[in-house]
Amino acid sequence: MKITVVGTGYVGLVSGTCFAETGVIVTCVDIDNDKIEKLKKGIIPIYEPGLETMVRRNVEKERLFFTTSTKEGLEGAEVVFIAVGTPPDEDGSADLKHVIAVAREIGRSMSQYLVIATKSTVPVGTAKKVKAAIQEELDKRGVKISFDVASNPEFLKEGAAIEDFLKPDRIIIGTESDEAQKFMERLYKPFLLNGHPIIFMDIPSAELTKYAANSMLATRISFMNDIANLCEIIGADVNMVRRGIGSDTRIGNKFIYPGAGYGGSCFPKDVKALIKTANENGYGLEVLKAVERVNDKQKEVIFNKIYSHFGGNLKGKRFAIWGLSFKPNTDDTREASAFVVISKLLEAGATVKAYDPVALDEAKRKLGDSILYATDLYDAANDADGLVLMTEWQEFRVINYGVLSKILKSKVVFDGRNIYEPSEMVEEGFAYYSIGRKPAIP
């Protein structure tokens, strides 16, 4: 079987590589020439654990190919996945220009029956637009080639993308054609040996499922952050509350960790886009509007703690930031809370030296020389007036208190991810601020 994946980013590259791993011949297409040239040489443009080895293996076995030409990529293909970005438009809706551009390119290039499956997260109604764009291009060419569209939203998580793709909880396929259904069943069968289901449904339901899933997860996070803030006011400990409610099997213990707000390339834009879809259809998704408001405020919570600890005067102070990616195990810094804190610190006249195990290059692209970049976590903390943890990377979990005590100018830690124990911090002589717990002051 031969397939094509158009858009070779986090989703496209992981999906294409994992399909190749099952023996399918995959061509990944991207308009970014630099990216494709690097991939041909085995250089992976993103940080994703395990991906590099897998890409190299499949390139060597001649199951995985890269090109900038959609036409070349489509030669002999039976299924093509669209996996390009769908960033938010100015009004919050998903910008479909890349998706439609790919659909047109497919219409201009295809020469035999194809199933066109959208993996990008796209609003309800997109499959119809994709179908119309392809048909328009075929009509312009004056050729009659049959094709089917399908919606196949992707649920992988950055940082655990390969594991998620190889062992998915479920596969969602929206389609209105038996033939497309058969192709998708064949393609996904190797990933479902663990007994998890492939769920077929109509296309609008499949398109909405992805938004509803991300919005539900974002809702859990914002709900817990709201509860955490209330905990601080009334003197409760959110960790206790979390454990208390998480042990209820109806609630479960996932996605109820409070923190400095959610970020990334998906939750913020997908919540926005779903609110917009509802608005366009005359419905106000009130819960989601609150989820977004709570998250915007939550991204400032750590800065507010720093500001009040230093009595509102941050001029000339320097802060160490640990963690810049929006979550651990990825170099993705899109919408990361660290950047909100950094920007507010700079605005208040402070300076910043930041460290992240893999996201420093991404941060440099965004922030240039407005901040300093550290070679390791203690280099960042050296001579700083305070330590601010924004991403819960594994290497931050066990700190060397002795070293930190010597190098920090003032022994204060602001923890945006609740990874340290307040009692231990106090014992070691640190003032410690976290989320939804009382400040621990020695």
What is the smallest separation between the CB atom of 106 and ligand NAD, expressed in angstroms?
10
- Token readout for 393 is 């990377």
Amino acid at 113: Y
Task: Name the residue nearer to ligand NAD (CB basis): 12 or 259.
Answer: 12
What is the smallest separation between the CB atom of 82 and ligand NAD, expressed in angstroms?
9
Of residues 18, 28, 231, 266, which has the active-site annotation? 266
DSSP of 323-388, one letter per residue? --SSSTT----TT-HHHHHHHHHHHTT-EEEEE-SS-HHHHHHHHGGGSEE-SSHHHHHTT-SEEE
Query: CB–CB of 123/272 below 8 Å?
Result: no
CA 297 to chain centre: 20
Task: Name the residue nearer to ligand NAD (CB basis): 325 or 434.
Answer: 325
- Token readout for 14 is 């992981």
Task: Name the residue nearer to ligand NAD (CB basis): 35 or 318.
Answer: 35
- The C-alpha atoms of residue 228 and residue 238 are separated, in whole angstroms, by 5
DSSP of 88-136, one letter per residue? B-TTSSB--HHHHHHHHHHHHH--S-EEEEE-S---TTHHHHHHHHHHH
How many separate helices (H) and strands (E) can be counted in the chain?
18, 14
Residue 260's nearest CA partner among 318, 321, 314, 310 is 321
| Cα dist from 432 to 224, 321, 327, 420, whole Å | 20, 15, 21, 9
What is the smallest separation between the CB atom of 32 and ligand NAD, expressed in angstroms?
4
User: Quick one: the chain helix, strand, coil %, rounded to 5?
Assistant: 45, 15, 40
What is the smallest separation between the CB atom of 323 and ligand NAD, expressed in angstroms?
18
Compute the residue count for the chain. 442
Residue numbers of the site for ligand NAD (CB under 6 A)? Answer: 6-12, 29-32, 35, 83-86, 98, 101-102, 120-121, 154, 156, 158, 265-266
Query: CB–CB of 175/150 below 8 Å?
Result: yes
Task: Name the residue nearer to ligand NAD (CB basis): 35 or 437.
Answer: 35
Task: Name the residue nearer to ligand NAD (CB basis): 32 or 300.
Answer: 32
Query: CB–CB of 306/319 below 8 Å?
Result: yes
Q: Is 20 helix (H, G, I), strand (E, B) or coil?
A: helix
Query: CB–CB of 188/20 below 8 Å?
Result: no
Task: Name the residue nearer to ligand NAD (CB basis): 165 or 303.
Answer: 165
What is the smallest separation between the CB atom of 87 and ligand NAD, expressed in angstroms?
8
Task: Name the residue nearer to ligand NAD (CB basis): 21 or 335.
Answer: 335
What is the smallest separation between the CB atom of 324 and ligand NAD, expressed in angstroms?
17
Report which residue's Cβ sits closest to ligand NAD: 9
- Token readout for 48 is 């994703």
- The C-alpha atoms of residue 413 and residue 306 are separated, in whole angstroms, by 9
Task: Name the residue nearer to ligand NAD (CB basis): 232 or 356.
Answer: 356
Residue 231 is a catalytic residue: no
Active-site residue set: 266
